[in-house]
Chain A
């Protein structure tokens, strides 16, 4: 396996992207999962459906709408421009945001399942031990949901590393900024550089195997994809 400087840049960028995305996803996904697991609101079903959309939608659909949505004429694009941030497509921040949307169900669902699995009882117990809502979240929900959080983090990371369609649509293939490994592989194939494609592809296979192997070894009941136990 040999990697060109461009490949190495892409690998580093991919890891950086996946790390940022995973941290953000845990930050956003945990409260969301918590809400979904506990709410009786009529918004539960629509919100669940929206969160799960990336599982069934082709990445090209998602990427296309994100491109339009974040573009200068899209609602988010107008907002970011008004805030003086410019527009997000073709930037690292844009990729992070798109990846967060794209990988959201893979993080929310394991956490939601974990929270639903331990049920209301530990929370009631904590409430009778004078723990307020925030205290309960940190002292009960987080530790009790730890296997789910671990699964979520691993899946979020791996799914971001493996993402292609969305990045292709909004990335613009800028080295060091948006040119991630999966796109780099695509370019190698298109340019008939099969040796380059092999090296990176093999790396991806090995990486994905190691990640999933570790996940199943630590949490044998983890089920990927649908989030259904």
Chain B
């Protein structure tokens, strides 16, 4: 029951949306794709801002749209964060928040308190200001707080960071992670930026030409070699891990994940805290033997699962399985090597190989 089912068709002269997806009713689902892929249209259909001509939409069992049913946006228990500043210019930041507070439903299981929202987004000092007196990032934080104070059961975010420059983006991302961590609120997050998706998403719906071309958990979809979107330099996997140890002398931390572990720079995370690491395909090289005289810290024994040609005919993508022989837990990595190397190393499914990881980032 805890899922969002969208079977929708929207026909425009230049574009049509035709999706049939189910998304988990918890965690962060990213609608990921290039611009024009229909991800925003799908989000607007879920919000009811756009009315799909045909189809059916259910949220945790509630029918929001069917042939003769259409719940208008103001009757759906959603919060919506738009891409660009969308604060009411005739109201102060506080007035914008109160607009939501006044209209929020009275009976809510776990209401988000005003102070909690303000604190979560760090806008306590901005409340008296008018929208034009706020920076782009501050405006977006107020808009997110406002979307929370309507007490939504589903939060929809349409590229909330796209209109911001990098410093502003880095300013907001921690707030979004806090949101995810502290609130048990399902979020559908539209983005075309792989780094945002890697940091925030649990589940991925990849969109192209108005269709959902791949769906699944982040780890699964990103390690698929036939992932339909061309990620180029951004190709790589995201792994959920836990800090197991911190080496004070060398300022390193050991992060364990299903089937393996890596050492990386100590980012100050406490032991036992959960972290998410991202390993790009271009940062993994392969070797037959374990190299003893290398600067590379992390070398993991792995097994080749699959080899394909990459976007460029000179390159190959290799899917690697990293497995703990005792527990049987495993994870997948993706490596990008030249096709020539793949040939010389005789890579084929089942080949044992060492994955040398040049860099790992906690995200």
Contacts and interface: CB of A to CB of B under 8 A. Distances in A.
Contact flag (A, B; Cβ within 8 A): yes
Interface of A: 121-122, 124-132, 135, 139-140, 143-144, 146
A127 B72 contact: yes
A127 B49 contact: yes
Contacts of A126: 74, 88, 99
A122 B150 CA distance: 16
Contacts of A128: 47, 49, 73-74, 78-80, 147, 150, 156
Contacts of A131: 74, 103
B235 to A, nearest CB: 35
B73 A125 contact: no
Contacts of A132: 72, 74
Interface in B84-109: 86, 88-91, 99-100, 103-105
Contacts of A121: 82, 86
Nearest to B48: A127
B13 to A, nearest CB: 14
B74 A130 contact: yes
A144 B99 CA distance: 14
Contacts of A143: 88, 90-91
A126 B156 CA distance: 14
A122 B86 contact: yes
Nearest to B49: A124
Given A122-B88, A128-B47, A129-B100, 20 more contacts: A121-B86, A125-B80, A126-B74, A126-B88, A127-B49, A128-B73, A128-B74, A128-B80, A129-B99, A129-B103, A129-B150, A130-B103, A130-B104, A130-B150, A131-B103, A132-B72, A132-B74, A140-B88, A144-B89, A146-B90
Taking each of B74, B86, B146, which has the highest tally of chain A beta carbons within 10 Å of its own beta carbon?
A: B74
Interface in B144-190: 146-147, 150, 156
B74 A139 contact: no
Contacts of B146: 129
Contacts of B80: 124-125, 128
Contacts of A125: 80, 82, 86, 88
Taking each of A125, A126, A130, A139, which has the highest tally of chain B beta carbons within 10 Å of its own beta carbon?
A: A130
A38 to B, nearest CB: 14
A121 to B, nearest CB: 6
B34 to A, nearest CB: 23
Nearest to A120: B49
The 8 closest A-B pairs by CB, nearest first: A128-B80, A127-B73, A143-B90, A130-B103, A125-B86, A127-B74, A130-B74, A132-B74
A131 B103 CA distance: 7
Nearest to B78: A128
Taking each of A125, A132, A144, which has the highest tally of chain B beta carbons within 10 Å of its own beta carbon?
A: A125
Contacts of B90: 143-144, 146
A71 to B, nearest CB: 46
B49 A139 contact: no
A132 B71 CA distance: 12
29 contacts: A121-B86, A122-B86, A124-B73, A124-B80, A125-B82, A125-B86, A126-B88, A127-B49, A128-B47, A128-B49, A128-B73, A128-B74, A128-B78, A128-B80, A128-B156, A129-B74, A129-B100, A129-B150, A130-B75, A130-B103, A131-B74, A131-B103, A132-B74, A135-B103, A139-B99, A143-B91, A144-B88, A144-B89, A146-B90
Nearest to B149: A129
Nearest to B105: A130
A126 B49 CA distance: 11
Contacts of B72: 127, 132
A205 to B, nearest CB: 36
Contacts of B48: 127
Contacts of A122: 86, 88
A144 B80 CA distance: 20
Nearest to B89: A144
Nearest to B44: A124
B347 to A, nearest CB: 50
Nearest to A132: B74
A144 B146 CA distance: 19
Nearest to A144: B90
Contacts of B105: 130
Contacts of A130: 74-75, 103-105, 150
B128 to A, nearest CB: 18
Contacts of B49: 124, 127-128
Contacts of A139: 99
A144 B90 CA distance: 6
Nearest to A143: B90
Contacts of B73: 124, 127-128
A140 B87 CA distance: 11
A100 B73 CA distance: 37
A160 B333 CA distance: 77
Contacts of A124: 49, 73, 80, 82
Taking each of B48, B90, B147, which has the highest tally of chain A beta carbons within 10 Å of its own beta carbon?
A: B90
A61 to B, nearest CB: 41
A126 B79 CA distance: 11
Nearest to B86: A125
A122 B99 CA distance: 12
Nearest to B103: A130
A115 to B, nearest CB: 14
A128 B49 CA distance: 8
B8 to A, nearest CB: 18
